[in-house]
Amino acid sequence: MYGEVVSARRLTPHLVRVVLGGPGLDDFVLGEDADQYVNCFFLPDAAPYSVPFEDEVVRALPREQRPFPRRITVRAWDAERRELTLDIAAHGDVGYAGRWAARARAGDRLQLRGPAGGYRPHADADSYLFVGDESALPAIAACAEAVPAGRRVVVVVEVEDAAGEVELGSPGELEVHWVHRAGRHDGLDDLLAEAVAALPRPAGVVSAFVHGEAAETRAVRRVLLREGLVEQERLSCSPYWRRGMDDEAWRAVKAAWVRETAADPVG
Ligand SMILES: Cc1cc2nc3c(=O)[nH]c(=O)nc-3n(C[C@H](O)[C@H](O)[C@H](O)COP(=O)(O)OP(=O)(O)OC[C@H]3O[C@@H](n4cnc5c(N)ncnc54)[C@H](O)[C@@H]3O)c2cc1C
C-alpha cells in the first residue's frame, strides 16, 4: 500500500502535516481504535528502487539500501476522500521520517502497512489524561476528539516552546497544559512527570495514556501509578523513541526496556 502526498505543511516549526491520497490507498481500512498507527517505509537517499516496491525485492538488498520502517500515528482518515493524514515530528537534519516529512512535496510517495491498533479511551471512565511529546501529539489529538461528550479531558504535552503549541479539540471538557523544553537538551527525563505530578488529583475512574520519549514516559508512568492516579489496566504506556538512539537501535533494546519498566517499583 502507498500514498501520494496531496499536501504537506508545517503545523509548527517541529511538526509537519502530510496528507496522503491516491489509488495506492484503495485497500486502506481503518480499525476501531481511536489511536492507530501505520508502519511507513522511508527510503535511503540512494535507493536503487522507488515506491511502490516489492518486499521480496528490497529484502535481498544490502541493509543500507533497504527501506527504514517507522511507526506513525493515523492522525485522521477521511473515508470519503480516501485521504490519510499523518503529523510527523521534524527533529533536525537527522532520521528518515523527520527529514522525509520536512522535504515532502505534492506527488511524493510513501509506502506503508497497517493500520494497527493502539489505545481506545475507556467508555466507563469519568475522565481522561493524555500525556506526551510532539511525536504523541497526533495520538493525543485523535483521542481527545474520540472521548464521550462532556467528560473531563486533561492533556499534558511537551513541545519546544509556544510556537510548538497547536489547537486541540474535543467533545469533552478539555484542559491543555503545555510544557516547554525551551532550548534545554539535558535533564528532560522528568519534565513531563513533574507537570503531571503538579496536576490536581482527578476524581473517579481515569483512563490514560503516556506516549513519546522512553525515559519521559517511564517517569510519568511511575508518578501515575505511585500516586494511584490511574489503575494499571486503564493506563497505556508506549515508549515511542529513545533520546540518543535511532529507531533501529531503539527497537533492538525496546523489549528489555518495556520489561524493566513493568518491574519499576511504584508502590
Ligand atoms: C505506535 C507509534 C506511533 C508513533 N506515531 C508518531 C507520529 O504520529 N508522529 C511522529 O513524529 N512520531 C511518531 N512515532 C515516533 C517515531 O516512530 C520515532 O520518533 C522515530 O524514531 C522517528 O524516526 P526518524 O527516522 O525521524 O528518526 P530516527 O532515525 O529514528 O532517529 C534519529 C535521531 O533522532 C532522534 N529522534 C527520533 N524521534 C525524535 C523526536 N520525535 N524528537 C526528537 N528527536 C527524535 C533519535 O533519538 C535519534 O537520535 C510513533 C512511534 C510509535 C511506536
The confidence band for 22, taking pLDDT boundaries of 50, 70 and 90, is very high
Say how far apart CA 134 and CA 158 lie, in whole Å.
7
Query: Under a CB-based contact definition with an 8 Å cutoff, are residues 121 and 147 in contact?
Result: yes
**pLDDT tens digits, 129-185:** 999 999 999 999 999 999 999 999 999 999 999 999 999 999 999 999 999 999 998
Please give the distance, rounded to the nearest whole angstrom, from the Cα atom of residue 82 to the centre of ligand 1. 25
| Residue 100 vs residues 29, 218, 248: alpha-carbon distances, Å | 24, 29, 17
Closest atom of ligand 1 relative to the 73 alpha carbon: 8
Which positions ≥6 away from 261 have C-beta within 8 Å? 218, 221, 237, 239
Residue of 33, 119, 135, 188 to mutate, ligand 1, most atoms within 8 A of C-beta: 135
The set of cell numbers assigned to 254 is 525496546
Say how far apart CA 96 and CA 67 lie, in whole Å.
9
Q: Are residues 31 and 154 in the same domain?
A: no
Q: Are residues 108 and 148 in the same domain?
A: no
Helix axes 214-226, 247-262, angle to 10 degrees: 20
Backbone angles phi, psi at 28, to 5 degrees: -70, 130
Any domain includes 74:
yes
Quick check: CB of 244 below 6 Å from ligand 1? yes
Q: Are residues 68 and 136 in the same domain?
A: no
Please give the distance, rounded to the nearest whole angstrom, from the Cα atom of residue 244 to the centre of ligand 1. 11
The set of cell numbers assigned to 108 is 511524493
Q: Are residues 65 and 158 in the same domain?
A: no
Any domain includes 160:
yes
Quick check: CB of 70 below 6 Å from ligand 1? yes
Any domain includes 98:
yes
Last residue of a domain, one of 101, 118, 135: 118
Quick check: CB of 96 below 6 Å from ligand 1? yes
Domain count for the chain, please give it.
Answer: 2
Query: What is the identity of the amino acid at 172?
Result: G
Query: What is the identity of the amino acid at 174?
Result: L
Q: Are residues 110 and 132 in the same domain?
A: no
Q: Are residues 128 and 256 in the same domain?
A: yes
Which single residue is written with the C-alpha cell 528502487?
49
Closest atom of ligand 1 relative to the 42 alpha carbon: 25
Any domain includes 172:
yes
Q: Are residues 240 and 137 in the same domain?
A: yes
Last residue of a domain, one of 88, 118, 148: 118
Any domain includes 267:
no
Query: Under a CB-based contact definition with an 8 Å cutoff, are residues 99 and 45 in contact?
Result: no
Range(s) of the domain holding residue 42: 2-118
Strand-pair category, 152-159 with 235-241: unpaired
**pLDDT tens digits, 180-235:** 999 998 999 999 999 999 999 888 999 999 999 999 999 999 999 999 999 999 99
**pLDDT at residue 191 in the model:** 97
Q: Are residues 204 and 106 in the same domain?
A: no
Q: Are residues 127 and 256 in the same domain?
A: yes
Please give the distance, rounded to the nearest whole angstrom, from the Cα atom of residue 198 to the centre of ligand 1. 27
Q: Are residues 246 and 145 in the same domain?
A: yes
Q: Are residues 126 and 40 in the same domain?
A: no
**pLDDT at residue 136 in the model:** 98
Q: For ligand 1, atom 19, name the residue with the nearest CA.
A: 241
Q: Are residues 31 and 100 in the same domain?
A: yes
- Give the three-class secondary structure for 100: helix
CATH of the domain at 83: 2.40.30.10
**pLDDT at residue 267 in the model:** 73
**pLDDT at residue 193 in the model:** 98
Quick check: CB of 87 below 6 Å from ligand 1? yes
- In this predicted structure, the answer to whether residue 46 has a pLDDT above a threshold of 90 is no
Say how far apart CA 168 and CA 98 lie, in whole Å.
22
